[in-house]
Amino acid sequence: MAALAALLLAGCASLNTDEGRRYTTIAPFSAAEPGEKLPGGWQPWVLSRFKRNTEYRLVKDADGVTVVEATSDHSASGMIKQLDVDPIATPWLSWRWRVPALIKGADNTDRNLEDSPARVIVTFDGDLDKLDFEERAIAARVRALTGKKMPYATLMYIWENTQPVDEVIPSAHTSRINMVVVESGMSRSGTWLSFTRNVADDFRRVYGEAPGRIRSIGIMTDTDNTGEKTSAFYGDIKFSARAPTKPLQ
């Protein structure tokens, strides 16, 4: 329950000196220098004190661009940035990542093997009172455990081993988290890949209603369920009002 609470609280105010501050833009990783703190309000996102943390650091890629390197060894944690973004006005989410190799045995349809080498995670605001009894009960337990209100809904964009691209995988823990497969299989591993998603359209497709305001953006590389080791590299992440005419570099 503690780990689930931490995952559900991704869109809540942080607990450090930046508490309560929300950003309207995402500072690019490429503007930072290797070894510095992550820029512009990015913070560690610890899922549970009972889990090992994935390591995140700024490095230069082969082209000399600053990116985030994630290294996971039987671990699960992320990086998160609190936001206040209107997904109707700025629905286009763009990012890029590189995954050297997939996680052996990972399967996000199996709660016991639910790992991914790369995830981009978006949380949304909304009226929790509209949820069914079971989900309201989960929200109440999360609030009792943490003192915080959980996000109304979460979309995770993931790299999956076998499930097809655009497949929606519901979380085994709650209907308020759904994973959208944006890359599958190993054919493009080791290559920088760029993605653009209309989060408002994805939200409507998955949850059957218009989205509330975006409350956070996160990245996560996790191998806590499979016990494997993996790494991933994350480039810049950006919201925009119009579909980009070219991928992020």
Q: Dihedral through CA 215, CA 220, CA 223, CA 224, nearest 10? A: -40
Topology of domain 2-240, CATH? Jelly Rolls (2.60.120)
Whole-number Å distance between alpha carbons of 71 and 123: 24
Shortest CA distance to 141 belongs to which of 38, 6, 242?
6
pLDDT at 17: 39
Whole-number Å distance between alpha carbons of 221 and 68: 11
pLDDT per residue as tens digits for the range 99-144: 999 999 999 999 899 999 999 999 999 999 999 998 888 888 878 8
With 50 as the cut, is the pLDDT of residue 167 above it?
A: yes
Q: Is pTM, for the whole model, over 0.75?
A: yes
* Helix, strand or coil, per DSSP, at residue 204: helix
Q: Dihedral through CA 39, CA 43, CA 44, CA 49, nearest 10? A: 160
Q: Which of 139-148, 174-183, 200-209, 220-229 has the lowest mean pLDDT?
A: 139-148
Whole-number Å distance between alpha carbons of 35 and 69: 11
